[in-house]
Homo-oligomer: A and B are copies of this chain.
Amino acid sequence: MRIALDAMGGDHAPREIMYGAQNGLRFLSPQDELLLFGPRERLESECREIGLVDPRVKIEHCTQVIGMDEAPVDALRSKRDSTIARMASAAGKNEIDALISAGNTGAFAGACQLRVGPIEGVSRPGIAVLLPTFHGPVIVCDVGANVAPKPHHLYEYARMCKIYAQAILHIDDPKIGIVSIGEEAGKGNTLVKEAFQMMRDDPSLSFIGNVEGRDIFAGSGNVFICDGFTGNVTLKLTEGLAEGLFNTIRHEIEQEGGPTLAKQFEPIVERIWARHDFAEYGGAPLLGVRKVSIICHGRSDRRAIANAIRVSAEQVRANLIGIITQMLAGVREGAG
């Protein structure tokens, strides 16, 4: 297995990415390879400084980096030797099995779509995140790859997420809902209404119908499908609200309860917070492309990157891409 890692992607690159690579090696077998994409001299110097010496680690020299805020389409066009473009090209040529980046999400998703290529039967890939809830993790897809999807894109997400939930959450028959503004059928915008019908009419899906924003955290389903705009707002809102709420509670306890109560309370906060920490989940797959493509949070630290390596290796070993491909092909044959 060959996993490609964007050593220059993310707010804390390259140092935290390099530490993540170092820590993530424990999830790989002796014959696996971890390819670090970035400027050779800089990465070699990083390796020396952190003591990263392992025969499985290879550096793939790239002269360019796409910045976090660059316009994806322009950046991909002008920076052909960037880490992201080069990783995607290598994946497109079947030189690697998985690719990971905490860099520019739009550029990474675009590069995967263009150069890695879609699985046959998939029109547009979608980003699926595991969102921590009080009833365990749920999958939300799409969270930003496709801000103006068609109904059948959402339907494809539902079908791919079923396989993903089986593989990752170990749920045989995941309950799948579509995010809308009312539970009754017929509520929502045109996109939701049409996607609703496609999901409802597919007997292979355990479709629970429309769900509202609050239901995502209520344990009513395992997979929540939405357009990439709604999903992205949802994801960032969740992060911001949870963070803000924890900070408020900490602040209030210190103010009102004094240091003794704060000290008693701290481990409880830490434990709840850990369960809701994106770093534990190791990034979000871009479902629908021909290689395991893991998009990490821009703020990823070494733990998040190491977990992304773990998740990538698990998905390659579980043959997630192969299973999704077969399932989609089977349905096309069945329908034809």
Contact = CB atoms under 8 A, between A and B. Distances in A.
A45 interface: no
A171 interface: no
Given A233-B230, A234-B233, A237-B214, A272 B252 contact: yes
A228 interface: yes
Interface string A233-258: 11111111111110111001100110
A173 interface: no
Contacts of A190: 148
A189 B147 contact: yes
A233 B271 contact: no
Contacts of A229: 180-181, 188-189, 192, 230
A217 B189 contact: no
Contact of A249 (B228, B237, B247, B268): B268
Interface residues of A, number: 58
Contact of A245 (B69, B147, B242, B264): B242
Given A229-B189, A241-B242, A147 B236 contact: no
A248 B230 CA distance: 26
A99 interface: no
Contacts of A106: 182
Nearest to A183: B69
A214 B235 CA distance: 8
A34 to B, nearest CB: 30
B233 A215 contact: no
B257 A240 contact: no
A82 to B, nearest CB: 18
A272 B268 CA distance: 18
A235 B268 CA distance: 28
Contacts of A248: 134, 272
Contacts of A245: 134, 242, 245, 272
A218 interface: yes
Interface string A166-207: 000000000000011110101011101000000000000000
Given A257-B264, A261-B265, A213 B242 contact: no
A244 B218 contact: yes
A232 B72 CA distance: 29
Nearest to A238: B241
Interface string A204-224: 000000001111111000000
B214 A240 contact: yes
A133 interface: yes
Nearest to A190: B148
B236 A249 contact: no
Nearest to A249: B272
Nearest to A131: B241
Interface string A106-143: 10000000000000000000000000011000000000
Given A230-B230, A244-B134, A239 B265 contact: no
Given A189-B229, A241-B241, A268-B252, A213 B236 contact: yes
Given A213-B235, A213-B238, 10 more contacts: A69-B184, A106-B182, A148-B189, A148-B190, A213-B232, A213-B234, A214-B241, A218-B240, A253-B268, A257-B264
